[in-house]
Amino acid sequence: MPTRFFLIAALLGCAVPPARAAEAFQTAAPFALLLDADTGSVLFDKNGDKQMAPASTTKILTAEIAFREIKEGRLKLDDVFLVSENAWRSGGAKSGGSTMFAALNSRIPVEDLIQGLVVQSGNDAAIALAEGISGSEDSFAALMNRRAHELGMDHSVFKNPWGRGDPNQRVTPRDMATLARHVIHTYPDFYRYFGEREFTWNRVRQLNRNPLLGMNIGADGLKTGDIAESGFGLVGSAVQNGERLIVVVNGLRTAKDRATESFKLLTWGFRNFEPRDLYGADEVVGTAQVFGGEVGEVPLVAGAPVKLLVPRGAGETLSGRITYRGPLRAPVQQGATVAELHVAHDGADILVVPLKAAAAVGTGSLPRRALDAGWELGATLIRQNFGRPPGAGAGPGGRAEQPAGAAP
């Protein structure tokens, strides 16, 4: 798949389509994705929807499940889990993989296992958490897949909690960025573990494997991974001037390449893009016509801030239009989603935001309804014979369109 560049606007949680980017950018990473954590805007995408082996970045989902168990009261940080022979043998020092050096049959507090998981990348810590939460690795893997589906990671499949090579364990860069964004926004108190520079367990001091943490770029997470079938990969995040970006790379040949390419992507994103506020959460974007109501139109709001990520210093003109099936039929309930805002750049939609009725509109009087019916009948006849007149609605059940209000 060719590399795609994005000038993308996003309202939190809504899908965003591509547009022209600020400038060309190349990376040696076979898989790469750069995401604005606030708006969900994708700034760079190279094979973002292609499946890849996650290696130890799998542990981000293992951590998320543990965080959720704690947040929902089923687990506490000071609860202790047993390090089974399976955890010790498969994930301990004898296994040859990354480990927190947990002793066989020892009992370790959940908080220490989390630190062993995300700082030291301990496979033994991952297995101990999985067995402690679900009873077995297989049961935990089933939980991982259910949780991934709930988070919208629809193109990922998990088979174990620590990233052991498995031909059926696959993720996409977009899914991993989605997971990272969720962890950052949902668990701010626990996310800090990903940024810890070192952790010592069983008298063994280990440094965090994330190279971005020492590169003076504002990095504070998340996780590296590398096995033979994945190459070197990383899911990382950094903040500069209040703007947070998430980077995903995978398939690189060396740890140095992983550090270099992820640093380049983050640096490019911070230097070349800036957020632009379009509308406040309760700012009126425009109006929609109402058929048979107490009043003839209802104000429309987005219900959440509408933001656009644009190339830094760019002066492109944006245009907006509101579409809805209308005119709306009274009564109209306040807060009901009744329209869409389309923001375009160079004639192409780069943002589609649902709009809500900012006020309730009750059913109008009989004379008012009769007047509206007469107007619509006349407008329908005109449309059928001459096309839609300027400013006319589309008719009940039809598609109405009008300019949006001026954005800041």
Write out the binding residues.
223
Burial class (CB in 10 A: 0-12, 13-18, 19+), 186: middle
DSSP-assigned letter for residue 178: H
Catalytic residue among 121, 134, 230, 262: 121
Q: Which CATH number fits domain 4-275: 3.30.200.20, 3.20.20.10, 3.40.710.10, 3.30.2020.30?
A: 3.40.710.10
Catalytic residue among 46, 59, 159, 264: 59
Residue 94 in contact with residue 123, Cβ under 8 Å? no
Q: Which CATH architecture has domain 280-403?
A: Sandwich (2.60)
CA distance 336 to 360: 9
- Partners of 246 in the β-ladder: 35, 237
At residue 227, what is the residue type?
I
Tokens of 174: 């977009």
Our answer to whether residue 59 is catalytic in this structure is yes
Our answer to whether residue 237 is catalytic in this structure is no
CA distance 108 to 196: 19
Region(s) of the chain under CATH 2.60.410.10: 280-403
Instruction: Give which of 187, 198, 206, 201 is closest to 108, Cα–Cα.
Output: 201
What's residue 223's pLDDT? 98
How is 216-281 classified by DSSP, letter by letter?
A: SS-EEEEEEEEETTTEEEEEEEEEETTEEEEEEEEEESSHHHHHHHHHHHHHHHHHHEEEEEEE-T
Per-residue pLDDT of the chain (408 residues; tens, 9 = 90+): 333 333 333 333 333 333 344 347 899 999 999 999 988 878 899 999 999 999 999 999 999 999 999 999 999 999 999 999 999 999 998 888 999 999 999 999 999 999 999 999 999 999 999 999 999 999 999 999 999 999 999 999 999 999 999 999 999 999 999 999 999 999 999 999 999 999 999 999 999 999 999 999 999 999 999 999 999 999 999 999 999 999 999 999 999 999 999 999 999 999 998 877 888 888 999 999 888 788 888 999 998 888 877 777 655 667 788 998 867 888 989 999 999 998 876 666 667 889 999 999 887 665 555 454 545 545 454 445 555 444 434 444 445 566 666 554
Tell me if the bond preceding 222 is cis, omega within 30° of 0: yes
Question: Is 326 in a helix, a strand, or coil?
Answer: strand
Tokens of 208: 């965090």
Element (H, E) at 311: strand 306-311
Question: From the DSSP assignment, how many helices (H) and strands (E) are in the chain?
Answer: 9, 20
Distances (CA, A) of 137 to 50, 119, 132, 161, 176: 26, 21, 10, 7, 21
What's residue 348's pLDDT? 64
Helix locations, 92-162, DSSP H:
110-118, 123-134, 137-150
Write out the binding residues for substrate.
223
CA distance 279 to 26: 33
The position carrying tokens 């800090």 is 192
Our answer to whether residue 365 is catalytic in this structure is no
What's residue 289's pLDDT? 85
Region(s) of the chain under CATH 3.40.710.10: 4-275
What's residue 42's pLDDT? 85
User: What is the CA 381 to chain-centroid distance, rounded?
Assistant: 47
The position carrying tokens 């008012």 is 368
DSSP-assigned letter for residue 107: E
Catalytic residue among 41, 46, 56, 264: 56
| CB atoms near residue 318 (< 10 Å) | 17
